[in-house]
Amino acid sequence: MLQLRPVIRQYLWFSAGNRLNTCSWHDNWCEDSPLYCKITSRQITAVGFYIQSKVADLIINNEWILSSDWTRLLPSLPNAPTLTNDEDTIHWRDRNGDKQVFSISVVWDDIRPRHNIVDWCDLVWFNHCIPKHAFILWLVFKERLKTQDMLLQWNVNPNIDLLCPFCKAQSDSQVHLFFDCSYSTQVWNRVVQKTGLPSRPSSWSLIIARTVYSKQDWEV
């Protein structure tokens, strides 16, 4: 959880109040925040402030008491806010900079890693999918099934005979399990017969290409 602190901190913003609970240098309270990225500890202490200084410590009579040299360092610094008797409040600002009502789903959507969308995304994750089935299919597409060829890389006891549980002819792999195994071939042939497919697919890439192409035709 502690490793998530720098990830989470960028989305937590302090709204105006008495500014007694908002750290001047490390909290997000203006567009230049966090200020420690632009002002060094030496510059902070050189003008009489402390690392623990709050935003309220930087204001007297509704005016900033900052070094004139800092104007160049903080080009987006707003006018000094009018301090109130209300406590500072924290809100969540999403990856687009919009204020959001805090929820687990909002947090996850902002902090989750993002990559390019793959062609087979909608084949695995869709409304009413069975999570267990979707997860296994996701492992297949990522080539992460715990097949015997994967287990051999983990220094499994060499005295154990690792053979395909269906054909007993050789150690299984993802390719063997779905396409090369004699039992799998029989299953595929029955599927082709039942569904009227023109031929039996010979690889996952071919299955993906055919399915994605068919899905595009349906959408048109």
- Give residue-wise pLDDT tens across range 107-159: 999 998 888 888 888 889 989 999 999 999 999 988 889 888 887 777 766 66
Q: pTM of the prediction?
A: 0.60
Domain boundary, last residue among 84, 111, 138: 111
The answer on 209 and 157 residing in a single domain is yes
Strands (E), 43-151: 59-60, 63-64, 89-93, 99-100
- Give residue-wise pLDDT tens across range 3-35: 788 888 899 999 878 999 999 999 999 888 999
The domain of 91 spans: 2-111
- Give residue-wise pLDDT tens across range 32-77: 899 988 888 888 988 889 999 999 999 998 889 888 778 788 888 8
The answer on 166 and 103 residing in a single domain is no
pLDDT greater than 70 at residue 2: no
Helix (H, G, I), strand (E, B) or coil at 215: helix
Domain count, the chain: 2
The answer on 93 and 59 residing in a single domain is yes
Cα-to-chain-centroid distance, residue 9: 15
Q: How far apart are CA 169 and CA 183, in angstroms?
A: 11
Which residue, 78, 97, 84, is CA-closest to 21? 84
The answer on 189 and 89 residing in a single domain is no
